[in-house]
Amino acid sequence: MTADADRVAALVERVEAGELRLHELTDHTDSDTAAVVRRQVVEAESDANCEAIGDYGFPAEVAEPNIENMIGTVQVPLGVVGPVDINGAALDDERYLPLATTEGALLASVNRGCSVINTAGGATARVTKAGMTRAPVFSVTDVAEALALVEWVRDNEAALRDAAEETTNHGELQDVTPYVVGNNVYLRFQYDTKDAMGMNMVTIATKAACEVVESETAASLVALSGNLCTDKKPAAINAVEGRGRSVTADVVVPSEVVAETLETTPEAIAEINTRKNLLGSAKAGALGFNAHVANPVAAMFLATGQDEAQVVEGANAITTAEETDAGDLYMSVSLASLEVGTVGGGTKLPTQSEALDILSVGGGGDPAGSNADALAEAIAVGALAGELSLLAALGSQHLSSAHESLGR
């Protein structure tokens, strides 16, 4: 983006003189000029060349809701795999899957899995549960007062729902579950956030509900998030109860396809999955029992404007593999806490919006929530393709050779 050189120079001089701070620049000029000024200040102080960082293809103003102190963009290579046949409840069609990554061999591997899935007649995918959570923590005097709060919440959930839903046109409070730890009470609020990922929505709504709790009980709000939500951290509660969308994809691959295309057997893949993904993960104390679900999840998160930190929960998945009675391969991937949306956040940025359009899931769906469900189904099938390909590579002893030729 271009900016007036004299204007930039004058602002750089003021920043260097201490008259302006970088975050104050947008009060004095347009967003693109502010980005240029920040970039020049950073270049001068770090002796770095940020020319590529400053070469971006949309007005900086577009990104203002998504970032502060912008100096440019980081461009991550974007590719596609597929098309892959997805037999979902929200997405029942062939789709190309957009993945953004710097890891060589990843798209080739997932693409191979997609090809096998297509040969097998497609993958089935379903969202089995949906609900975004926020869990504030309250302090009480003792356990008796804690129980009194728990009982009050159970008797007054309608009042909490009214207060929470007053703050949003779309979110719906589904449930409030209390947890007591000594003189601490955690209330895990769960919402239907439709096509939005919904963290901002549920935070604002929960704050309004907390005000009702404080006004009607003896409890005091300590923190709006008490970490029982649980957001952007590995947590067993998300693996068990789910968060965002719980989604499963599965496929039955004929034994001849496993032999001819993957150069291994259903029995070998099932054994590797048990010994590696299940037993190995258990011994390691892992929460995710899978090979590399984080890879396609992260790549599709980056491509479609999801909150990349929530890959922590998105990779909270279990892969299963077994040989069927007919000698074929059954495989599934169940992602317990996939937090995705097709409206809000980074989904509005130009390139991310275009990636969602590749999937035909951009914006709000009809009915509400259907586009985010479709995105979740697509990510689950991408994860299934990645698991299938990697386990087969291990079974055929091709993993290292693939990385040697493609990983570079």
pLDDT in tens, 149-170: 999 999 999 999 999 999 999 8
Where does residue 363 fall: left (phi above 0), alpha (psi -120 to 50 degrees), or beta otherwise? left
The Cα–Cα gap between 386 and 292 comes to 7
4 has catalytic annotation:
no
103 catalytically annotated:
yes
Contact 345, 197 (CB under 8 A): yes
SS3 189: strand
153-171 b/e (C-beta count within 10 Å ≥ 16 → b): beebeeebbebbbebbebb
Q: Which of 28, 170, 398, 403 is catalytic?
A: 403
SS3 at position 50: coil
pLDDT score of 403: 47
Please give the domain boundaries of the chain with CATH numbers for all domains.
8-63 (no CATH), 78-129+247-407 (3.90.770.10), 136-223 (3.30.70.420)
Is 142 part of the annotated catalytic residue set? no
Find the catalytic residue in 61, 92, 103, 267.
Answer: 103
pTM of the model: 0.94
| 394-404: burial string, b at 16+ Cβ within 10 Å, e else | bbbebbeebee
- Contact of 257 with 119, CB cutoff 8 Å: yes
Q: Which residues pair with 318 in a beta bridge?
A: 289, 334
Residues of the chain with pLDDT under 50: 400-403
Among residues 307, 328, 339, 373, the one annotated as catalytic is 307
- How do residues 3-42 score in pLDDT, each as one tens digit? 789 899 999 999 999 998 999 898 889 999 999 999 999 9
